[in-house]
Amino acid sequence: MRVLIAPNAFKHSLNAKEASEAIQKGFEKSHLNCVCECFPIGDGGDGTGELIISHRHGIVISEEVLDPLGRTIQASYGLIDNRQTAVIEMASASGIRLLKNEELNPLEASTFGTGLLIKFALNQGVNKIILAVGGSATVDGGCGILAALGVDFLNEKDEKIGFLPKDLINLTSIDTTHLDKRILDCEIVILSDVKNPLLGESGSAKVFSPQKGATASDVEFLEIVLSNFADVIYRQFGKSIANLAFGGAAGGVSAGLAGLLNAKLMNGIDAFLSLTGFDDALKRNDIVITGEGSLDKQTLQGKGPFGVAERAKTLNIPVIGLAGRVPLADVEALKSHFDAVFTIGNEPTDLKNAIENTAENLTRTAEQIANLLAITQKKLG
């Protein structure tokens, strides 16, 4: 039996590569006569860019940029397609992982460092940029990126203002005179794992900014800032970005770059699987093992395991899902795409211990699943 192991990251515990290795270990310990192929996946979240570069055998380049608070750091990006396409992760230069909890402040955090990575990529002569936007610490509508590329933000007196959210409350117009024109010749593709719009109750400020350190009053302030930003873009450029699907991802970066740079916004897992040749891997295998920290109704809204299962189903390949958490209320809904779903815990425990033991639990559960498959294999053989 050929087994394709294609998990997403298990958040706060294992990245996708580590998760796939833990599952593979379980299958190799089992009685099942099998050959495993690991194909870790990303759906636009933290780590997606690294996986694309790895699957496409790209090169990684490290550069000195600025973190979300303007401090000098080293961050990397990748080149694929014979160095014609850059793959950039926002988390590398603008990620929440770069800040301590007490440093989280989306009013003062910026995507400027990601913009610097884009400039470095332009210096390499790329004609396409793939931007995976998960894991950011920012809610600036992409204004930091735009500033790094030469865009100026002006107040009612046509005076230049800062590009931080705390400054953008005074925004009345945008000056693209000094925009690096090379970016206009680039195809920009943004990969996201959330479909939320820029504004409103399900928008960037109200849903995601509290996770990045925003207080209740900060949330309202950021909503006003992003709403004003959207109004200015509509007034000057005729682009409506307020309700774009995926526009609220990464603090509105998706919407901002769609409005000023004509970026294409895509479902992260669909783009990832197409970019990395996942369908070819599917055709080589008999069964698929996927999973992530929680398999629930949100999974079916376009998360990584859903994308894997959807493609497997078109080829009538069975799919098994593994997760730390599977709400009982969602099991029936999950049956539409997964042949079986297993939680990996084996005893009552708290979240801290569950996270610490994810690798061990994945290996044990995978071994038991493989042993069940071995029974079937033996009977058929």
Q: What is the per-residue pLDDT for 33?
A: 95
Q: What is the per-residue pLDDT for 381?
A: 58
- Write down the CATH superfamily of domain 2-40+286-380: Glycerate kinase; domain 1 (3.40.50.10350)
Q: What is the per-residue pLDDT for 113?
A: 98
Residue stretches of the chain with pLDDT short of 70 = 379-381
Q: What is the per-residue pLDDT for 380?
A: 63
From-to residues of CATH 3.90.1510.10 in the chain: 48-269
- Write down the CATH superfamily of domain 48-269: Glycerate kinase, domain 2 (3.90.1510.10)
Q: What is the per-residue pLDDT for 140?
A: 98
Q: What is the per-residue pLDDT for 182?
A: 98
Q: What is the per-residue pLDDT for 329?
A: 86
Q: What predicted TM-score, i.e. pTM, was given to this entire model?
A: 0.93
Per residue, what are the HEC states of the chain? CEEEECCCCECCCECHHHHHHHHHHHHHHCCCCCEEEECCCCCCCCCHHHHHHHHCCCEEEEEEEECCCCCEEEEEEEEECCCCEEEEEHHHHHEHHHCCHHHCCCCCCCCHHHHHHHHHHHHCCCCEEEEECCCECCCCCCHHHHHHCCCEEECCCCCEECCCHHHHCCCCEEECCCCCHHHHHCEEEEEECCCCCCCCCCCHHHHHHHHHCCCHHHHHHHHHHHHHHHHHHHHHHCCCCCCCCCCCHHHHHHHHHHHHHCCEEEEHHHHHHHHCCHHHHHHCCCEEEEEEEECCCCHHHCCHHHHHHHHHHHCCCCEEEEEEECCHHHHHHHCCCCCEEEECCCCCCCHHHHHHCHHHHHHHHHHHHHHHHHHHHHHHC
